C-alpha cells in the first residue's frame, strides 16, 4: 500500500482542493477494507476517491484519510461466450479502481454490447454505480448485475443485487446513503457512501452491434434513433461528440505523478492525441455541474411553455417532469463562457453551459462563487434551485 503526500488539486479533474493528511492506495481487496475500517475505527474523515471527476473539494487541508483503490483487473467469469439461443448474456467483473473508459474499451473490443454509449465518461468502475452514470441514451444501471461492497455500518462484505441498488437518475442506494436531502450531507458517512464498492459484475450482451439511443449521436452517425450500429462505431462517435462539447477530461492529468498508472497507457496516448483541439480553458471541470431538475407538475407549470419537459419520476415515486438545467441556465442569462467578472479564474465552458471550468489557478471559492451566482440567477428567474451533481466537500452549495 502506498502512502504519499498529495492534494485534491492533484487528483481531481477540476484541479481544485487542499492538501490531504493521509493518502493511501491499497493494492489488495483486504487492503481496501482495512484502510476504510482503520479510518472508521479512529473516527477520521474518510474519502474513498476514484478518478476525482465528480468532486469539488475545499482548498483547506483535509484532516482525514483518502483511499484510492489501486486494483484495476477485469475478468470474464463466463468461460465461453454464448453462441446460440436467445440468451447471449456475458458476465464481466471489474475491480472498483478500474478506469471506466478502459472498461468500456475492453468490452467493445470483446464484442459485448451494453456500455458503448458511456464511452469517455471519466472516473472509475467503483464510482460508476454510485451516481448511476449515464449519457447518450444509456445508463450503467441497465447493465449492472450486482455490486460487491464493504458495508461500513455492518462491517461486512455484501453482494448487492441490482434490484437492491434503487438506481434512478444520477442516483443509487449507495449515493443516497451519504445524503439526508439533495446536496445535504448525512452526518455519518459523507463524503463516502456507507457502502464502499469493491467490484462490479456486469451482465452484457454478446453482440458486435448496439442501439443508437440518442438524437445527437444518431445525427453524428447519420442514422435514426433506435438503429443498430457497430459498437466500435458508436464508441468512436460518442468520443467525437464529447470532444466537440469539451466533455472529455484533460488527459494530460495522467502524466502527473499522482495519477500515473490509473489509466491504461495506450488509451492515455490516444486521448492525448484526440484532445489537441480542445481549448485548455475548457478541460478542467466536473462535467455537468448541475443535475437536471425533476419537478412536480405544479412546479413545471410555472416554467415558460418553451422550456424542455420530459417524463420522469420524483424521489417519492410519483410522476414528475424533468427539465433541462442547461436550458434554465442559458435562459437565465448565463451563456457559454460566462464569468462573474473579467478576471475570474473560473467560468462556464465556452462549449457547454453546464460545465463549470477551472481556467487555471482557480480555488474552490472561485468555483463556488460562480456556482452560487448561477444557482441564484436561475432561482430568481424560474423559481428552481439547481442542485450540484458533484460531491461538494468542505463547504456547502445548496
Q: What is the binding site for ligand FAD (CB under 6 A)?
A: 13, 47-55, 69, 96, 121-124, 126-128, 130-131, 133-135, 191-193, 196-197, 247-249, 285-287, 391
Clarify whether 324 is annotated catalytic: no
Cβ neighbors of 165 (< 8 A, separation 6 or more) are 129, 141, 144, 147, 172, 173, 174
Question: For residues 121 and 268, which CB has a smaller minimum distance to ligand FAD in the complex?
Answer: 121
Instruction: Choose the catalytic residue: 113, 116, 148, 389.
Output: 389
Question: For residues 162 and 300, which CB has a smaller minimum distance to ligand FAD in the complex?
Answer: 162
Cβ neighbors of 283 (< 8 A, separation 6 or more) are 246, 249, 250, 275, 357
Give the angle 335-279-350 at the CA atoms, nearest 5°: 5
Question: For residues 194 and 331, which CB has a smaller minimum distance to ligand FAD in the complex?
Answer: 194
Min separation Cβ 193 and ligand FAD, Å: 5
Min separation Cβ 380 and ligand FAD, Å: 27
DSSP string, 315-384: TTSSEEEE--HHHHHHHTT--TT--SSTT-SEEE-SS-TTEEEE-SS--HHHHHHHHHHHHHHHHHHHS-
Question: For residues 328 and 391, which CB has a smaller minimum distance to ligand FAD in the complex?
Answer: 391
Q: Could you tell me if 386 and 332 are in contact, meaning their C-beta atoms sit under 8 angstroms apart?
A: no
Min separation Cβ 126 and ligand FAD, Å: 3
CA pair distance 168, 109, nearest whole angstrom = 29
Min separation Cβ 149 and ligand FAD, Å: 7
Nearest by Cα to 335 from 324, 325, 326? 326
Question: For residues 124 and 375, which CB has a smaller minimum distance to ligand FAD in the complex?
Answer: 124
Min separation Cβ 35 and ligand FAD, Å: 12
Clarify whether 172 is annotated catalytic: no
Min separation Cβ 90 and ligand FAD, Å: 23
Nearest by Cα to 11 from 23, 27, 2? 23
Instruction: Choose the catalytic residue: 72, 170, 194, 253.
Output: 170
Instruction: Choose the catalytic residue: 288, 349, 359, 364.
Output: 288
Q: Could you tell me if 223 and 216 are in contact, meaning their C-beta atoms sit under 8 angstroms apart?
A: no
Residue with cell 448541475: 290
Clarify whether 389 is annotated catalytic: yes
CA pair distance 186, 182, nearest whole angstrom = 10
Question: For residues 13 and 375, which CB has a smaller minimum distance to ligand FAD in the complex?
Answer: 13
Burial class from Cβ neighbours inside 10 Å (0-12, 13-18, 19+) for residue 139 reads buried
Q: Which three cell numbers stand for residue 73?
A: 483487473
User: Would you name the residues annotated as active-site residues?
Assistant: 170, 288, 389
Amino acid at each position: 500500500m502506498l502512502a504519499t503526500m498529495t492534494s485534491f488539486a492533484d487528483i481531481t479533474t477540476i484541479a481544485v482542493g487542499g492538501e490531504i493528511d493521509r493518502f493511501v492506495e491499497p493494492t489488495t481487496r483486504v487492503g481496501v477494507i482495512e484502510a476504510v475500517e482503520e479510518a472508521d475505527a479512529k473516527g477520521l474523515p474518510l474519502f474513498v476517491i476514484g478518478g476525482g471527476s465528480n468532486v469539488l473539494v475545499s482548498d483547506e487541508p483535509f484532516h482525514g484519510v483518502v483511499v484510492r483503490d489501486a486494483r484495476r483487473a477485469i475478468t470474464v467469469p463466463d468461460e465461453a461466450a454464448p453462441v446460440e439461443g436467445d440468451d447471449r448474456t456475458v458476465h464481466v467483473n471489474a475491480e472498483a479502481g478500474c478506469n471506466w473508459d478502459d472498461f468500456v474499451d475492453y468490452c467493445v473490443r470483446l464484442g459485448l454490447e451494453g456500455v458503448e454509449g458511456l464511452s469517455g465518461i471519466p472516473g472509475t468502475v467503483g464510482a460508476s454505480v454510485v451516481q448511476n452514470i449515464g449519457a447518450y441514451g444509456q445508463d450503467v444501471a441497465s447493465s449492472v448485475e450486482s455490486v460487491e461492497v464493504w458495508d461500513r455500518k455492518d462491517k461486512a462484505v455484501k453482494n448487492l443485487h441490482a434490484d437492491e441498488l434503487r438506481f434512478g437518475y444520477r442516483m443509487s442506494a449507495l449515493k443516497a446513503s451519504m445524503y439526508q436531502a439533495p446536496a445535504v450531507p448525512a452526518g455519518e458517512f459523507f463524503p463516502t457512501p456507507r457502502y464502499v464498492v469493491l467490484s462490479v459484475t456486469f451482465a452484457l450482451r454478446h453482440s458486435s452491434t448496439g442501439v443508437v439511443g440518442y438524437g445527437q449521436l444518431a445525427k453524428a452517425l447519420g442514422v435514426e434513433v433506435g438503429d443498430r450500429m457497430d459498437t466500435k462505431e458508436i464508441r468512436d462517435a460518442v468520443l467525437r461528440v464529447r470532444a466537440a462539447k469539451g466533455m472529455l477530461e484533460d488527459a494530460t492529468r495522467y502524466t502527473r505523478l499522482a495519477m500515473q498508472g490509473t489509466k491504461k497507457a495506450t488509451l492515455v496516448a490516444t486521448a492525448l492525441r484526440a484532445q489537441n483541439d480542445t481549448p485548455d480553458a475548457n478541460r478542467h471541470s466536473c462535467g455537468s455541474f448541475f443535475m437536471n431538475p425533476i419537478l412536480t407538475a405544479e412546479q413545471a407549470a410555472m416554467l415558460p411553455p418553451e422550456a424542455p419537459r420530459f417524463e420522469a419520476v420524483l424521489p417519492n415515486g410519483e410522476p414528475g417532469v424533468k427539465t433541462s438545467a442547461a436550458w434554465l441556465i442559458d435562459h437565465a442569462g448565463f451563456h457559454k463562457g460566462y464569468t462573474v467578472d473579467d478576471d475570474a479564474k473560473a467560468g462556464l465552458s465556452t462549449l457547454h453551459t453546464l460545465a463549470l471550468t477551472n481556467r487555471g489557478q482557480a480555488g474552490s471559492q472561485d468555483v463556488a462563487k460562480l456556482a452560487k451566482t448561477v444557482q441564484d440567477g436561475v432561482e430568481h428567474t424560474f423559481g428552481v434551485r439547481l442542485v450540484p451533481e458533484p460531491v461538494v466537500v468542505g463547504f456547502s452549495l445548496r
